[in-house]
Amino acid sequence: MRIGVSGDIGSFSEEAGQIYAAKAHMSQHTLHYLIDMEGVLAALDREEIDVGIFPFVNYNSGIVWPAFTAMGRHSFMPIDDIQLNVEQCLIGFADTQISEITELYSYTPAFEQCKGFINQHGFKTIDWGDTAKAARDLSLGILPRKAAVVASAQAAKSYNLSVLKQGIQDIQPNITRFIVVKRGNS
C-alpha cells in the first residue's frame, strides 16, 4: 500500500500515516512525502499513491484552510480519519538560546496553535509550508542558523536538531484530525 502524507519526514502527517497503517493492519506499506494537501490529492489523481492522509481540522486553531482549498479541486472519497494529539515544539540548533531567536519558520496552522508563546517572545513568523520541511531546511542551512521552527519532537530527531522548548501550543490536548482518502472513482 502506497500512503501519501502531506508533510516531510518527521511531520505529524507522517505519524498519522504510521497510525493508519497499523490500524489497517498493513504490514507492507510505503510512505510518500508530498509536503502539502494539493500534492497528496494530485498524486492520488495520478494513481501514484493508494491513499492520502492530511490534516483538516485542529480543535484549537480550527479548519486547515489549505486542505479545504485542495479538496475543492479533486475527486476523492473519505475512508477513515485519525485523531492525533499534536505537541508543538520550538526546534533549533543546540547552541541557540531562545533569546537569540527573532524568526520562526513553520506552517501557519502550527503558528495558530502557539499564539501565546509566539506573542510572549515577539517572534516574527514565516510560513514555510510544512513543519517538518522547515526543520529539514534549518538543518540544511537554507534557513538562518539563529532561526527556529515550530514542529514535532520527531522532526528535531529526524534532522539532528534540538528541542529548545517542548509543548508550546496554547492548549492541551491539542487534537488535530487527519482525513484518510482514496480516489473518488475507485
Q: State the Cα–Cα distance between residues 12 and 154, nearest whole angstrom.
A: 9
CATH superfamily ID and name for 2-84+174-183:
Periplasmic binding protein-like II (3.40.190.10)
Per domain, the residue ranges of the chain are: 2-84+174-183, 89-166
pLDDT confidence of residue 171:
94
Domain 89-166 has CATH 3.40.190.10: yes
Asked if 137 contacts 105 with a C-beta cutoff of 8 angstroms, the reply is yes
Q: State the Cα–Cα distance between residues 151 and 44, nearest whole angstrom.
A: 26
pLDDT confidence of residue 134:
98
pLDDT tens track for 148-183: 999 999 999 999 999 999 999 999 999 999 999 999
The reply to whether domains 2-84+174-183 and 89-166 share a CATH topology is: yes
Q: Which residues in 99-113 are b (16+ Cβ under 10 Å) and which e?
A: eebeebbbbbbbbbb
Percent of residues, the chain, with pLDDT higher than 70 = 99
| Entry pTM | 0.91
Cα dihedral across residues 58, 20, 92, 105: positive or negative? negative
Query: Which residues pair with residue 3 across a beta bridge?
Result: 31, 51
Q: 174: which residues sit within 8 A by CB, 6+ positions away?
A: 58, 59, 60, 85, 86, 87, 88, 113
